[in-house]
Amino acid sequence: MNISLYFCLAVVVILMLCLAWMLLLYEKLRRRYDSLLESCGHMQKLNSELRSQRHDYLNHMQVVYGMVELEEFRELHDYLEPIYRDMMKVGKAIRTSVPSINALLMAKMGEAESAHIDFYVEVKSDLGQLQMEPWELCRVLSNLIDNAITALAEKESERKLLLEISEDREDYLFSVSDNGSPIPEDRQAAVFRPGFTTKQEPGHGMGLFIVSNVLRKNGGSISLKSDEKETVFTVRLKKTIVGQEVKG
């Protein structure tokens, strides 16, 4: 009798552990699916933007040709300036070899523009040896950019946001900086803890905690520097992971 009871208890414990593992796996897959779905949406938006620009190209060329023929050079300059800015905005966002990152940057540029924020992107690496899953890197960059946009929302003028993507011999570097209000030095160590936020509304305070966990899982790191001039979050990601060979 005792043996049967112990056996049943052991079976119950094993089933509960299996159920807990399946729930954790389900939650992990659900988060990945949501991130991939969001990336897919960004890519579709970028593709639509590129197709739209290509469709309008001939019409613009006809207008430009007509203005040159009429020697309306001042008007030509005024006509081309917004078109050039729009084309450069898209061009800067598609300079990496990771389509989902390109699409994310394009989407965030649109959000920044709607918030009247000057969003500058400097890409000095194509991320060709990226080991981290692209959807996870999108999650990291999305949170950092969203935080910067939120920080700049309280600023009345000269809202500037800069993303720099570069690399050195061993690491990829991602720097997100803004000229919003500084984070006090005595609070900087707490920004990566769950629930920390400077906002009063519910739902804030998990973004940087999520970023920190995702980076830690992938062997990366994040640092913060903030003063009256700017707030800068810097991410470092190894090009190679221990036990793996570099891609490419």
Pairing of strands 221-226, 171-178: unpaired
Delimit the domains of the chain by residue range: 31-238
In our burial notation (b when 16+ CB lie closer than 10 A, e otherwise), range 74-89 reads eebeeeeeeeeeeeeb
Question: Tokens representing 30?
Answer: 């659900």
Task: Report the DSSP pairing between strands 118-123 and 160-167.
Answer: parallel
Instruction: Pick the most confident of 8-17, 81-90, 150-159, 229-238.
Output: 229-238
Average pLDDT value for residue range 15-26: 85
As to burial, measured by CB atoms within 10 angstroms (0-12 exposed, 13-18 middle, 19+ buried), residue 64 is: middle
In this structure, what DSSP letter does residue 50 have? Answer: H
pLDDT value at residue 92: 56
Topology adopted by domain 31-238:
Heat Shock Protein 90 (3.30.565)
The structure tokens listed for 114 are 């709607």
Give yes or no for residue 47 having a pLDDT over 90.
Answer: no
Least-confidence region, from 21-35, 77-91, 106-120: 77-91
Q: Report, as an integer, the average pLDDT of 162-187.
A: 92
For residue 58, the tally of other CB atoms under 10 A from its CB is 8
pLDDT at 204: 46
pLDDT in tens, 56-102: 777 778 888 888 888 888 888 888 888 776 665 555 556 788 888 88
